[in-house]
Amino acid sequence: MKSRFNMTRVAASVLLAIGLSIPALADTKTDDSLAAQEKGVQLMNQVGDVARDVRDNAERLDSFNVRISERSHGYHLNQIKDLVNDGLNPALAQLQDLQSQLPNWKQRTIDSMLDSAKALAADANSAILERNESGTAPPAMNPEYKAFIKQVEGHAQKLIDTSDAAAAYASGHMKAQKAGISVPSQS
């Protein structure tokens, strides 16, 4: 009788231990997913912040008149180039690394952000080339240059709008999850 009692006790202990470890594993997966989503929101905010700086520089370039120096144009174009290379590229590369761990809607959002960033970079590069090829003509008098700057501004604004909306939605969703509110899955 005593051995039967011990076996039941051992079996109950094993079942209890197994039962407790399963939710613990599930919590770890949820914690990892939540950490990836939080990192994604942080990176989306970073993309939005850099895009604001790009837009501000493009707006300055677009507003310059003929009397503004070539040096001023060069400075702001250099700022845009540096923001793209040192700000947008690293943040978007990290988002791509996280992409598979995020909900489908965030994956699609990242794809859209990448498309906008690529177009922004291409138009910024074209503006730089156009400025370099225009010789001594003031950049403000070059319609192709001004068109590229306007397009950079538009792509930056799209990045701002997309990153702000996605980050706000994801932050709200995560707050609800942390508060224990049952929210529909983000797909």
* Of 162, 132, 136, the residue nearest 148 (C-alpha): 132
HSE-up of 68 (CA within 13 Å, CB side)? 14
Is 0.85 surpassed by the pTM of this model?
Answer: no
Q: Which residues lie closer than 8 Å to 80 by C-beta, 6 or more apart?
A: 54, 57, 58, 124, 152
- Is 31-178 assigned to CATH 1.20.120? yes
pLDDT tens-digit readout, 78-137: 999 999 999 999 999 999 999 998 888 889 999 999 999 999 999 999 999 998 887 777
pLDDT tens-digit readout, 22-77: 333 334 445 667 788 889 999 999 999 999 999 999 998 888 765 677 788 889 99
Distance CA 71, CA 74 (A): 5
